[in-house]
Structure 1
Amino acid sequence: MNLNKAVIARPESEVLATNKMLRNTYMLLSMTLLFSALTAGLSMTLNLPHPGMVLTLVGYFGLLFLTTKLRNSAWGLVSIFALTGFMGLTLGPIINQYLHAFTNGDQLVMTALGGTGVIFLGLSAYALTTRKDFSFMGGFLMVGVLVAFLAGLGAIFFTIPALSLAVSAMFILLMAGMILFETSNIVHGGETNYIMATISLYVSIYNLFLSLLQLLGVFGGDD
């Protein structure tokens, strides 16, 4: 009798833990996205210059390392807001560039923002409702992101517009895969730290938005 109760109670406790993990992750994700939007708006209002690729990468990886180290303490929350706030500051000048470079810049930005929201909500809902296990995508996504990142650096250093567009298209697919992978990871208990889960989803949303914006600027922008 006791054994049967234990068998029944264990799945219930796992469901409760998963629901708590999802609730904490999406609440923190919403707060970091709002904070990032606030810092991006501040950057746009003050017309701050973009810090450049080197400083952006140093700031991102430095704050990411710090957040990872502090993920199990309250300071991890401070660190993740520092990370997402910094990324918002780097995003503001990019949005300003599109607003000033294209007569329909505001439409491009809103379309990219709407597209990012639709993709994220759609993929998250699919992973949550079907509860499919997408853990098999982990290795492929890791290699794909590395290849796309190196290709992106090559496109910048050697000024290859076609390669830059290809990288943006790759990142859209890879970030879509990352959203499925991370959401599935949470559902199936592969990720139990909501700070790390939030970082993964935030970075996916950030890169997805930038990639959509770049493609929209090339194919739909009016000079």
Structure 2
Amino acid sequence: MQPHNTYDFTHLGQVGESQQTAVLRKAYALLGISFLPCAAGAYAGASVNFYSLFSNSWLPTVAFLIFAYGLMFAIEKNRYNNIGIGLLMVFTFGIGFFISPLLQFALASSVGSQIVGMAAMMTAGVFLTMATIAHRSKSSMNGLGQFLLIGAVVLIIGMILNMFMQIPALSLTISAGFVIFSSLMIMWQIRTVIAGGEDSATSAALTLFISLYNIFTSLVHILLSIMDDR
């Protein structure tokens, strides 16, 4: 019986397993499935070439923020039902759509395919490493949660400053900060599920997806600054 996660879309539950294990299994399954609409969104974004329609405009950024935070709020409101799962798939499709210009820019470089491939492999490596640490750790991660809250505030302030100052060194620092922050967020979220502090697979999958998105895009930015010969 699952009083909170009433859906069982993949039938991954096993007889006798704990609720925490069931939630984590479903979160991993949702995370894996979410990359399918994300890839479809990236293809659609490349086909439409959305950002070129609004060059030198704040409109794409505003549209992204409204879409992302609006969907995240709606997903959290439906975190215990199948509507939340559907909204999560819409969210990942949209993220893929909005990330397509970055991928197009990176792939236009002579080493673009290497950059994207390296970023993807490094992101996967970070996820596996932090997930392993989370599964083996016995700590409550309460102190880490407080640290992440402070880190989020610092990164948001840095992003706002960089929007006006446009300093390359600051941009790279923020990207590196997001890699570290999101890596720790993966460990914290998985450990929180294991410890029983998160009982929604949809919410956990959303946090993990956003963390992976932040790591991947940040690594692409960093690698472009190092390897791009344009």
Hey, what does 1:90 align to over in structure 2?
Answer: 98
* Cα offset, 1:184, TM superposition: 0.5
After superposition, give the CA deviation of every residue in 1:74-125 in whole Å (9 maximum; x if it has no partner).
211111111111111101111001112x211111111101100011011102
C-alpha distance in structure 2 between counterparts of 1:76 and 1:23, whole Å: 17
Alignment check: 8 A CA contact 1:26 1:198 kept: yes
**Aligned residue type for 2:173:** A
Hey, what does 1:5 align to over in structure 2?
Answer: none
Is it true that 1:23 corresponds to 2:25 in the alignment? yes
Is it true that 1:198 corresponds to 2:198 in the alignment? no
Hey, what does 2:142 align to over in structure 1?
Answer: 135
- Stretch moving more, 90-99 or 42-51: 42-51
Hey, what does 1:157 align to over in structure 2?
Answer: 164
- Stretch moving more, 171-180 or 65-74: 65-74
Alignment check: 8 A CA contact 2:37 2:90 kept: no
Hey, what does 1:103 align to over in structure 2?
Answer: 110
C-alpha distance in structure 1 between counterparts of 2:103 and 2:225, whole Å: 14
| Aligned partner of residue 183 in structure 1, secondary structure | helix
**Aligned residue type for 1:81:** M
Give the number of equivalent residue pairs: 210
* Cα offset, 1:176, TM superposition: 0.8
Compared CA separation, residues 190 and 14, structure 1 to 2 (3 A): farther
C-alpha distance in structure 2 between counterparts of 1:17 and 1:103, whole Å: 49
Is it true that 1:61 corresponds to 2:69 in the alignment? yes
C-alpha distance in structure 2 between counterparts of 1:164 and 1:146, whole Å: 16
How many percent identity over aligned positions? 28
C-alpha distance in structure 2 between counterparts of 1:135 and 1:200, whole Å: 17
Is it true that 1:77 corresponds to 2:107 in the alignment? no
Alignment check: 8 A CA contact 1:131 1:187 kept: no
C-alpha distance in structure 1 between counterparts of 2:50 and 2:207, whole Å: 27
Compared CA separation, residues 14 and 219, structure 1 to 2 (3 A): farther
Is it true that 1:187 corresponds to 2:188 in the alignment? no
Hey, what does 2:223 align to over in structure 1?
Answer: 216
Structure 2 unaligned blocks of 5 or more? 1-14, 53-58
**Aligned residue type for 1:37:** A
C-alpha distance in structure 1 between counterparts of 2:60 and 2:16, whole Å: 45
Q: Higher helix fraction: Structure 1 or Structure 2?
A: 1
Alignment check: 8 A CA contact 1:156 1:164 kept: no
Hey, what does 1:36 align to over in structure 2?
Answer: 38
**Aligned residue type for 2:39:** A
Q: When the two structures are superposed, what TM-score results if normalisation uses the length of structure 1? A: 0.88
Compared CA separation, residues 14 and 208, structure 1 to 2 (3 A): farther
**Aligned residue type for 1:71:** R
C-alpha distance in structure 2 between counterparts of 1:111 and 1:188, whole Å: 33
Q: When the two structures are superposed, what TM-score results if normalisation uses the length of structure 2? A: 0.86
